[in-house]
Amino acid sequence: MDLSPIFAPFKHLKKYVEGMQDWPELSCLNEMIILQRLHIVSGSGKEICFVPPMIGSNHTEKKYEPTVYLTGQVQTRVKSWHDFFNALVWQIFPRAKSALNQIHYQNQLIESLNKIKHRSALRDAATHFDESGVIVVSSEKTLIQLLKKFEWKQLFWHERQAVMTSMRFFVFGHGLYEKALNPYIGMTGKGVIIDVDDIFLKQDVSKQLQSIDQMLASFLLASLSSSADLTPIPLLGYPDWTKENTYEAYYENKKYFRDRH
């Protein structure tokens, strides 16, 4: 696995997978949880374990989140980057993943009881964040305002040094991690923005991830209501996350760095 800056949250997991000659079996993914002495639970408090996909008409996509919620069993395909990254995200953001599972289960139950055929705006938002989420932390309110106003060139180019010093992106979505294996112009995340202080930014990454996980879980359960609560993030704008963005002209691509409408 290429540990480019985008994959930095996985750095401490590298030792568990770097010696593998083939795709890890599900037993290996489950053993990683034990070796790290992690307590990872579903939205109902069931211990998480990775199991093979269930086959049959009774195990549709609609059953995925309820199964996780009620049993802790996360159906995981071997030899799938998508599912592999999902398993890793459970290990670095366990509280936030549990919160998303709780949101899905509770709202899916409401939809079922009221015979609502369409997913709620909240469940759509939870899915978007689960697949493409990015956590933006910054100690500088001016940088956050530039991001919210879609002032991408001002943010990433003219304030480049300040961004590298006082702003961090942490990818959450396992779908985004899969795309980052072959990054392309157009990669866009769904951002949650968190204010932090300078002390936070001086902590090691493991402590940052633990704090972010707690804050993110609280936001998802208390404040997320629709995809409008998520800010579009042109991921490859972050300084040095691609070689191309070392040139000013890179940020003049309006198809990627779009103006706010």
pLDDT tens digit at each of 261 positions of the chain: 445 899 999 999 988 887 777 888 999 999 999 999 999 999 999 999 999 998 865 556 678 999 999 999 999 999 999 999 999 999 999 999 999 999 999 998 887 777 777 888 999 999 999 999 999 999 999 999 999 999 999 999 999 999 999 999 999 999 999 999 999 999 999 999 999 999 999 999 999 999 999 999 999 999 999 999 999 999 999 999 999 999 999 999 999 999 987
Question: Do 142 and 97 belong together in one domain?
Answer: no
Secondary structure of 54-79 as H, E, C letters: CCCCCCCHHHHHHHHHHHCEEECCCC
How many CB atoms lie under 10 A from the CB of residue 40? 19
Residue 14 lies in a domain: no
Amino acid at 73: Q
Instruction: Give tens-digit pLDDT for 103-142.
Output: 999 998 887 777 777 888 999 999 999 999 999 999 999 9
Question: Do 171 and 219 belong together in one domain?
Answer: yes
Question: Do 133 and 226 belong together in one domain?
Answer: yes
What pTM, to 2 d.p., does this model score? 0.94
**Where among 92, 120, 148 does a domain terminate?**
120
- Looking at residue 61, its pLDDT comes to 67
**In degrees rounded to 5, what are phi and psi of residue 48?**
-80, 135
Question: Do 133 and 243 belong together in one domain?
Answer: yes
Specify whether the CB–CB gap between 134 and 171 falls below 8 A. yes
The domain in which residue 179 lies consists of 128-252
Tokens 């000659």 map to which residue?
21
Question: Do 206 and 114 belong together in one domain?
Answer: no
Residue 209 lies in a domain: yes
As a whole number of angstroms, the longest Cα–Cα distance in the chain is 55
Residue 13 lies in a domain: no
Question: Do 132 and 247 belong together in one domain?
Answer: yes
Point out which residues pair with 188 in neighbouring strands. 234
The tokens describing 6, both together, are 């985008």
- Looking at residue 56, its pLDDT comes to 66
- Looking at residue 14, its pLDDT comes to 86
Count of structural domains, the chain? 2
**Where among 68, 98, 120 does a domain terminate?**
120
Question: Do 132 and 115 belong together in one domain?
Answer: no
Specify whether the CB–CB gap between 93 and 209 falls below 8 A. yes
According to DSSP, the β-strands at 231-234 and 188-195 are antiparallel
Distance CA 36, CA 43 (A): 21
Residue 174 lies in a domain: yes
Residue 4 lies in a domain: no
How many CB atoms lie under 10 A from the CB of residue 218? 13
**Where among 120, 141, 176 does a domain terminate?**
120
- Looking at residue 222, its pLDDT comes to 97
